[in-house]
Amino acid sequence: AEHRSVTVRGVSERNVTADLATWSVGFSHQGADLGSVQQSVDQQARAVRAFFEHAGFRADEITDTDVALSREQQRDNAGRPVGPQLLVVRRSIQLRTNDVMKVRTAYTRQAELLRAGVELSGSNVSYTFTGLNALKPQMIAEATHNARRSAEQFARDSGAGVGKIKEASQGYFSVGARDGEDCDDCGSSGGSSPFQKVRVVTTIDYDLG
């Protein structure tokens, strides 16, 4: 008798909500005099911290992550230097918290930073679901079970029985947007929405008896 087998796929999906939010705010100031540039940037840093604290976040969730000084020379159309060198100080402050819904609310009010005199160069939030490892065994079992059911259905339709597993490959876990949710570059590192979907696909070859 010829040797027959069937290849089936089983899927498992879970809707999850991120439990970690990381929000980075970058700002800068430029001028000819380092003292006054530094002063302006320090004042902006205080305004960013005040905004976060006012939104209900703790001081230990807020850190200075970056500071840089560069010199820039303005030039005319012929490429000749014009005026003194400008000093540019750039800083960024990061909020890292498990209170993702509070972040979602505060993020919609970030225009307040501009009103507080912060010269924003960037502001972005990344939401991460950190409980993936705890879900994996259960989801793999579910995907395998679903694959087995498909194999049994196929076997019934073709009058055979499902035998041993010849080969099994477990796909990688993907974290993406939930249906109808926008989640740019959702991935293991996080996405732009806290509402995410975890998915795994298992591919299994069964012998058919």
Q: What is the pTM of this model?
A: 0.79
Q: Which of 38, 101, 93 is nearest to 62 (CA)?
A: 93
Token pair 């500071």 in the structure block, residue: 67
One-letter amino acid of 89: V
Burial readout 150-177 (b: 16 or more C-beta within 10 A, e: otherwise): bbeebbeeeebebeeeeeeebeebebbb
Q: Per residue of the chain (209 residues), what is the pLDDT tens digit?
A: 456 888 999 999 999 999 999 999 999 999 999 999 999 999 999 999 999 999 999 999 999 999 999 998 888 899 898 888 899 999 999 999 999 999 999 999 999 999 999 999 999 999 999 999 999 999 999 999 999 999 999 888 888 888 888 888 888 898 887 876 665 555 555 688 899 999 999 999 998 87
What is the biggest distance separating any 2 CA atoms in the chain, rounded to whole angstroms? 90
3-class SS at 130? Answer: coil
